[in-house]
């Protein structure tokens, strides 16, 4: 089973100065920076997925979340996505480079933001190895399998558009001489309707299907959908799971003949999750998670800056506590401080992130106690010392500090690496 990471322009400054929190001299965004597959010797994924909506602004759709500048888009299409992502050369020659439309970006729009011919041209110019036909997300999945007449017009329309697009898309790809492998997207309002869509896509000629709309579904519902689809299609037809949020439960889906899936969650959790920020593989072979230690830069933290402006605390005092927390943690890493002293210093600074948030003192104390317990666990286990990945070996304790994107993204890269290794190991055992 192949794990694809969906690119969200995640790169770091390889020469970042962690002691002074400064970029390397003369650093230019993107040009000086490195992607995870450049920074890490063991590439932490089997392929990349690029959403068209992240690259190109769709005409008439205000809500697409474009991340690329126009110049970056032009360069990607001129040089090819592989070269743009620096995912070329012999190391990556067999790696997948999948394109999809990023249907979430235009989910509120009556029709998909891009027409099949525009999408085929985009994938072809970008040099993608695989491309998903433009689909339209259907969110509600009713496990009771209501008949077509019982669902909303809008839902039926999305179903019909996705299938009609797929037919036009496949015709265009064939006419171009199959410059990439076309993937048929499955959308539906129930397991049965999704199975029917999968069957129709297969009849059109698709040998690779992508299942969308799984994001809000629980594990049991996803299993119901996959069972229904598998019963209806040929055993050789390949399945990709789009934007799979349950990546950590992937071992529960090994029986469904999944060829590939994409996810961003190991990276995102490094800085978005409340407590599971650092991945580790426990002695039992299961994934274990640690909280990162939050020592934000006072000058970059809105709450702290507001507190300073309102005179709740002084900038100098805060800065002194911030330095003390960092210093104590680094000393601890070197064996020159204790868990208790480090925890004290960290929480002494951390309390200012909570104070003045409008909740009562009792609530705040409870929250702080919880955080202290999680931080203590991280300190006691020192998981960064057990990891041999390129990030942890190079920056050591800095990887566990929740502070600046250069640390937070590197922790995300580490998570991708742990996750990918775990996947290969457990699925190797399952096979």
Closest separation in Å from C-beta 392 to Zn ion: 3
By C-beta, is 343 or 387 nearer to Zn ion?
387
By C-beta, is 226 or 387 nearer to Zn ion?
387
Interaction residues for Zn ion, span 170-189 (CB under 5 A): none
Q: Give the one residue of 414, 415, 416, 423 binding Zn ion; rule: CB under 5 A.
A: 414
Closest separation in Å from C-beta 21 to Zn ion: 21
H or E segment to which residue 2 belongs? strand 2-6
The count of chain residues that interact with Zn ion, using the rule CB under 5 A, is: 5
Helix 339-354 to helix 361-381 angle (10° resolution) is: 140
What does the DSSP assignment read for 43-82? -S-SEEEEEHHHHSPPTT-TT----S-HHHHHHHHHH-HH
The CA distance from 183 to 171, in Å, is: 12
Is residue 108 among the annotated active site residues? no
Q: Which stretch binds Zn ion (CB under 5 A): 222-230, 340-348, 379-387, 405-413?
A: 379-387
**Angle (CA) 65 66 69, round 5°:** 160
The CA distance from 399 to 293, in Å, is: 9
By C-beta, is 137 or 293 nearer to Zn ion?
293
Is residue 33 among the annotated active site residues? no
Which of the 8 DSSP states describes residue 292? -
Identify the CA nearest to 212 among candidates 302, 139, 294.
139
By C-beta, is 6 or 280 nearer to Zn ion?
280
Closest separation in Å from C-beta 154 to Zn ion: 46
Tell me the per-residue interface mask from 331 to 370 with Zn ion, x by CB under 5 A, - otherwise.
Answer: ----------------------------------------
Which of the 8 DSSP states describes residue 161? H
Interaction residues for Zn ion, span 382-401 (CB under 5 A): 387, 389, 391-392
Closest separation in Å from C-beta 3 to Zn ion: 17
Closest separation in Å from C-beta 266 to Zn ion: 12
By C-beta, is 44 or 127 nearer to Zn ion?
44
Catalytic residue among 100, 135, 248, 390: 100
Closest separation in Å from C-beta 96 to Zn ion: 24
Burial 355-367 (b: 16+ CB within 10 A, else e): eeeeeeeeebeee
Closest separation in Å from C-beta 344 to Zn ion: 27
Which token pair is 58? 């769709």
307: which residues sit within 8 A by CB, 6+ positions away?
313, 318, 352, 355, 356
By C-beta, is 343 or 391 nearer to Zn ion?
391
The CA distance from 382 to 342, in Å, is: 12
Identify the CA nearest to 104 among candidates 213, 188, 211.
213
The CA distance from 292 to 303, in Å, is: 19
By C-beta, is 237 or 291 nearer to Zn ion?
291
Q: Does 4 bind Zn ion (CB under 5 A)?
A: no
Q: Which stretch binds Zn ion (CB under 5 A): 39-47, 187-195, 298-306, 409-417?
A: 409-417
The CA distance from 371 to 377, in Å, is: 10
Catalytic residue among 248, 262, 333, 390: 262
The CA distance from 249 to 244, in Å, is: 10
Closest separation in Å from C-beta 247 to Zn ion: 18
φ, ψ for residue 12, nearest 5 deg: -130, 165
Q: Give the residue ranges of DSSP H helices in 56-190.
A: 70-79, 81-84, 116-126, 153-175
By C-beta, is 343 or 392 nearer to Zn ion?
392
Residues catalogued as catalytic: 100, 262
Binding residues (CB under 5 A) for Zn ion: these are 387, 389, 391-392, 414
């Amino acid at each position: 089973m192949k794990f694809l990471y969906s690119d969200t322009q995640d790169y770091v400054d390889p020469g970042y100065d962690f002691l002074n929190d400064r970029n390397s001299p003369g650093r230019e965004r993107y040009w000086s920076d490195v992607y995870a597959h450049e920074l890490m010797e063991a590439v932490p994924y089997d392929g990349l997925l690029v959403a068209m909506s992240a690259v190109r602004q769709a005409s008439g759709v205000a809500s697409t979340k474009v991340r690329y500048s126009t110049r970056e888009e032009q360069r990607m299409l001129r040089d090819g996505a592989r070269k743009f992502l620096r995912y070329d050369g012999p190391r990556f020659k067999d790696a997948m480079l999948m394109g999809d439309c990023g249907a979430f970006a235009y989910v509120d729009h009556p029709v998909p933001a891009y027409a099949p011919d525009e999408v085929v041209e985009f994938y072809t110019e970008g040099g993608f190895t695989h491309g998903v036909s433009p689909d339209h997300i259907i969110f509600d999945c009713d496990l009771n399998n209501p008949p077509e007449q019982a669902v909303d017009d809008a839902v039926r329309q999305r179903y019909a558009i996705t299938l009609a697009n797929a037919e036009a898309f496949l015709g265009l790809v064939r006419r171009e001489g199959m410059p990439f492998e076309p993937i048929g997207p499955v959308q539906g309002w129930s397991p049965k309707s999704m199975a029917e869509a999968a069957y129709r896509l297969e009849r059109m000629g698709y040998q690779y299907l992508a299942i969308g709309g799984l994001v809000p579904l629980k594990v049991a519902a996803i299993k119901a959908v996959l069972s229904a689809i598998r019963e209806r299609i040929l055993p050789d037809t390949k399945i990709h799971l789009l934007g799979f949020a349950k990546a950590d439960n992937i071992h529960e889906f090994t029986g469904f003949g999944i060829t590939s899936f994409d996810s961003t969650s190991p990276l995102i959790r490094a800085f978005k999750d409340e407590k599971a920020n650092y991945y580790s593989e426990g002695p039992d072979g299961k994934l274990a998670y640690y909280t990162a230690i939050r020592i934000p830069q006072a000058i970059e933290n809105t709450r702290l800056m507001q507190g300073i402006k309102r005179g709740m605390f002084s900038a100098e005092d805060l800065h002194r506590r911030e330095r003390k927390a960092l210093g104590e943690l680094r000393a601890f890493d070197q064996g020159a401080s204790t868990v208790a002293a480090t925890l004290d210093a960290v929480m002494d600074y951390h309390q200012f992130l909570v104070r003045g948030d409008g909740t009562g003192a009792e609530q705040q104390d409870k929250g702080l106690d919880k955080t202290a317990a999680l931080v203590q666990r991280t300190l006691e286990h020192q998981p960064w010392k057990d990891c041999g990945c390129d990030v942890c070996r190079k920056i050591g304790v800095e990887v566990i500090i929740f502070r600046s994107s250069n640390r937070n993204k590197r922790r995300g890269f580490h998570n991708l690496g742990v996750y990918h290794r775990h996947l290969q190991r457990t699925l190797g055992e399952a096979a």
